Chains A and B, each alone.
Chain A
Amino acid sequence: MNFKMMGRFVGKILLVEAVFMVPAMLISLWEQEYTAVRAFLWSLAAVMAAAGFLLLLCRGSRNQFYAKEGLACVGICWIVMSLLGCLPFYFSGAIPSFIDAFFEIVSGFTTTGSSILPEVESLPKGILYWRSFSHWLGGMGVLVFLLAVSSVGGSDNGFTMHLLRAESPGPNVGKLVPRMRKTASILYLLYVILTVVNVIFLLLGEMNLFEAVCTAFGTAGTGGFGIRNDSIAGFSPYIQNVCTVFMLLFGINFTCYYLLLLRQFKNVFLDEELRLYLGLALGSIILIVINLRGYYATLEETVRQVAFQVVSIITSTGYATTDFDLWPGFSKAILLSLMIVGACAGSTGGGFKCGRVLLVVKSLRRSVRQVVHPQKVQVVRVNGQSVGEKVLQNTNAYLAAYVIIIILSYLLISVDGFSITTNISAVLTCFNNIGPGFELVGPTCNFAAYSTFSKVVLIMDMLAGRLEIFPILILFSRSTWKHR
C-alpha cells in the first residue's frame, strides 16, 4: 500500500472541504449567527490543521497507485471528510451529540437525507446551507471534483481511473474523453449547469434565493435534506412539480447529457437503462394512482403527489410532500421495491442502479436458458453490445454483497427492538441513500430514536451504499493495512 500517496489525497480532499466551508461561514456572518460563525472558524482551523499535517507528513510519495489503493483511498477520504465535516454541527451546538452530528453529515455526503433532527427551521442559516451543500458535493463525488480542478499525480498517469471507478456509481464506469481531468470537468460542468437551471426554475416560484439554492442542492445530489420541517409539502404545486422533474433529471446517467450535447440523440433514446428507469417510474406512478383512487381530493393532486413521491424514492432523493406511510400496503410495497432499484448508473442517485438490474435480469435469463439448452453459447447484450463476463461477474458479486450486508445490518439494528418494517426500511433507506423509510423512520419522523450502535451501523451502510460497497469493504480487510 502506498500510504503516503493516500495521505496526500486525503489532505487535498480536506483542503477542498475547507474551501467549501467558507461560503457557509459567510452566510452565517451575513445572518449574524455568531455561534455558528465561531463553530465554522473552529472547524476550518481543524480541517486546515489536519490537511496541513497530512500533506506535510506525506511529502515525496511515490506517484504510483493500483486498484487496491484506489478503492481504499476513496473509502478513507469519505470517512475522514465526514469526520471533519460534522464539526460545524457539533461546535455550534446545533447537534449536541457527536455521533448524531456524524450521522447527519454522512447522510449529507452520501446524499441519503436521513436526519436525526426533529426540526430544522430553528437551525442557523449557515448550518442549513452546509447541510444541503454536503449533498451537492457528495452527489457527483468529491474526488471527481479534485480530479477536475487539479491534475493529481502528474498529467500522464492513468491510476486516477481507479478513483473514478471507485467513486462513480455503476457497473461499467468509463471516461467521456481521453483526459481524466477533462472528463471530470465535463461531469461537473453538466452538474453545475443543471443545478443552476434548477435554481432559476425554483426562483420563478415564490422561493427566495437561499431556499432555492438549498433545495436545488438537495435535488441535484439526490439527497433530500429539506430546509423546512415538512420538506417540500409547504411549497406551491409549481415548486413541487419543478422538483419532480429535476429529481428525475438528476437520476439519469450524466453520459446521456454529454451524448445529447454531441447530438447523438439516437444513442440516448435507445439506451436500455434509461428506458427501464423512465418505464419503472411511469409504471409505478400509474399503479399507485390507481391504488390511491379517492385518497386525495382531485385527480390532479393525486398525480402530483404520487409522481413526486415515486420520483423522490426511485432517484433516492427522499424529499416528501405527503406522508406516504399512510398510503395503502400495495403502494408502499411499490415504493419499497423502488428503493432497492434506484436510479441510473453514472447519475447522482443511489440504490442498486437500473443498469445493474438490467444485467442481473439478463444474466439470470441466460442461466435459465442454459438449463434448457446446455450447449447453447449465449452472450449478454445491452444496447446491442455484448457485455464482458467480468462485468457480469462483478455485478453478481455486487448483488451478493448487497444482500448480505443488508441482512447483517438488519440483524444488528434489530437489537434496538423496533418493528420489522421500521428496521428493514431503515436499513434499505440508508443503504440505498434515500432518506425516509416507513413507520418510525417514515417521512415525518427521524432516526433519533436509534441507539448509538445502530447509528454507526447505519452510517457504514450509507457509506457502503454510496461508494458501492467495495471501497468500504476493503477497509475491513487485514491485508489492506499490511505493508507489502
Chain B
Amino acid sequence: MKIIIAGDGKMGAILTRQLSAEGDDLTLIDFNPKVLESSEVRYDVMVVHGNCASMETLCEAGVKEADLLIAMTGLDEVNLLCCMTAHGLNPKIHTIARVRNPEYAVQIYEMREMFALSMTVNPERQAAAEIERLLKYPGFLKRDTFVKGRVEIVELRLDSDSKLCNVALNDMAPIVKCQILVCAVLRNGKAVAPDGNFVLREGDRIFVTASTNTLAVLLKNLGVITHKVKRVIICGGGRVSYYLAKLLEKSGMGVQIIERDPQRCTQLASMLPSASIIQGDASSRFLLESEGFSECDALVTMTGLDELNMIISLYGINTKIPQVITKLGRTDDTDILGSLSLGSIVSPRELCCNTIVQYVRAMKNQAGAALTVHTIADGQAEAMEFLAEKSTRHCGEPLKKLKLKKGVLVVCIVKGPKMEIPNGDSSFQEGDTVIIVTSKGKGIYQLNDIFE
C-alpha cells in the first residue's frame, strides 16, 4: 500500500520502522533535510523535502496515487491542514492526523466529520487511558485487551517471593486455580515460546492469557497483595498527566501532580479543580518525601526526560510503592531496560503507532483482517485477534492435528459467551473469535496465514 507520512519526527520514525517492515511503500515528508537523510539510509523509503501542507510538496510525494496519509508533525494545525489539502487533491485518500491539543480533544468528533479525517490519534490521551487501566488492577505490568475487553493478555514479573518461581507450566494449575495460559516468557531480554515442561524462574516476565473476570482471582492466588489505589502521585505536568488526572478524578482517586513550571501549575490548577498541584522539582527527594511519597499507592513518572523518569521510578520501587508506572519516549532500547525493574513502562508513541498499524492492516485487508493487534514482550511478539469466517480453513479440526507455522500459538478461543483456553483437543468454528500469539515479523494478516 502507498502511504505518505508527513513529519519525520520521533513518532514518524517509529511508524516508518513498523510500516516499512510490513511491506508498505512509504514516502516521508519533512522540512528538515537531515532527518530525511538519516531515514533514507535506514529504511527502504522515499523522502520529499518540503512543507507537508503545501500542494506542490504533496503532489511531489505522490498524494494522487497514495492510499493513506498520516500527518505526524508537531503542530496540530499543520496536521489538519495537511490532511485537508491531501483530501482535496485526492478524495479517495484515507487520512490520519495527530491532534494533541486538549482544547481540540473535546471537539474531535466534529472535526473528524468536517475535515473528512479517517482517524485522529492522540498519543497522550491514549497513554493516559492505558495508565488508568493499569492502575485499576495493580500488580500487572501491562494489560492488553481483546474481544471487547473480555479477554486480556497481562504481563507479570516473577519476583523472588513469587509462588510461580521454579514451577513448570504443567504444574501451574493447582497454584493459580483458574483457567490461564502462559503464551510468552521474556527471559534475559529474549522472548521464549514456552511448552509444558518450561520451568519459570525468578526475574522472568510472563505473558498470561486470561479472561478479564479471572484477573482478580489470579492475583489473589498468586499472592500478589493488591489494594485499591487511592492516592496517585504524578511527576511532571505534561499533557498525559492532564488527561490522566482527568480520568482518575472520575474514578475517585486522589491525584497529586508535581510540576516544575509555575505557569503550567496555575494552568493545571484551573483545569483540574480536585487535583492537588505542587510546584517543585520532582527529582528532589526532599520534596517527594514531604508530599508523602512513601505512603502513596501508585507513582506515575511522566516528566519530559526519560532518564529522570527512570530515576524517580527506581526510587519509588526502592521505597516499596506498590505500583510504579514509567513513561518513556524512546523505546529503541527497552530490552536493556527490562533488567532494571522499572515497573510498568508506557510509551505513548508506541501505543499510538500500534493503533495506526492496526488501521493500516485493516485497510489492506478489509475482510479477515485482525480485529485487534497488540505487541507484547518488548515488541518481540504480537498478539492478534481474528474472527473465524466461512473462508477460514480447518474449522472444527482439533488443534493437535493442525500444522501451524513455527512460533504461532493459539492462546484463546471465544465461542459466544464462553471463553476457552485451548488444549490439543480444542477446535474453532465459524463465528468464533480466535486469539493467537506469534513472534514478530511472521507476516500474519489473516487467520489463514497461521497454517503451514
Binding site for B on A (CB under 8 A): 66-67, 155-162, 174-175, 177-182, 388
Contact = CB atoms under 8 A, between A and B. Distances in A.
B281 interface: no
Given A155-B21, A159-B41, A177-B25, 8 more contacts: A67-B41, A156-B23, A156-B43, A156-B44, A158-B43, A161-B40, A179-B25, A180-B44
B41 A161 contact: yes
A155 B45 CA distance: 11
B33 A178 contact: no
A156 B33 contact: no
A160 B44 contact: yes
Among A66, A156, A157, A158, find the residue whose CB has the most chain B CB atoms closer than 10 A. A156
Interface string B35-46: 000011111111
Among B17, B23, B33, B41, find the residue whose CB has the most chain A CB atoms closer than 10 A. B41
A238 B315 CA distance: 86
Contact of B39 (A67, A158, A175, A181): A158
B26 interface: yes
B73 interface: no
Given A156-B20, A388-B33, A178 B25 contact: yes
Nearest to A180: B44
Nearest to B48: A174
Nearest to B18: A156
Interface of B: 2, 17, 20-21, 23, 25-27, 33, 39-46
Contacts, number: 45
Contacts of A182: 25
Given A178-B26, A178-B27, A179-B25, A158 B33 contact: no
B46 A175 contact: yes
A376 B39 CA distance: 33
Nearest to B17: A156
A267 to B, nearest CB: 10
A158 B46 contact: no
Contacts of B44: 155-158, 160, 178-181
A421 to B, nearest CB: 44
Contacts of B23: 155-156
A182 B46 CA distance: 11
Nearest to B27: A178
B45 A158 contact: yes
Contacts of A162: 41
Contacts of A157: 42-44
A290 to B, nearest CB: 43
B27 A158 contact: no
14 contacts: A155-B23, A155-B44, A156-B20, A156-B43, A157-B43, A157-B44, A161-B40, A175-B46, A177-B46, A178-B26, A178-B45, A178-B46, A179-B44, A181-B44
Contacts of A66: 41
A158 B40 contact: yes
Among B17, B21, B26, B46, find the residue whose CB has the most chain A CB atoms closer than 10 A. B46
Contacts of B25: 177-179, 182
Contacts of A178: 2, 25-27, 44-46
A72 B150 CA distance: 56
A158 B41 contact: yes
Nearest to A176: B46
A176 to B, nearest CB: 8
B42 A158 contact: yes
B445 to A, nearest CB: 15
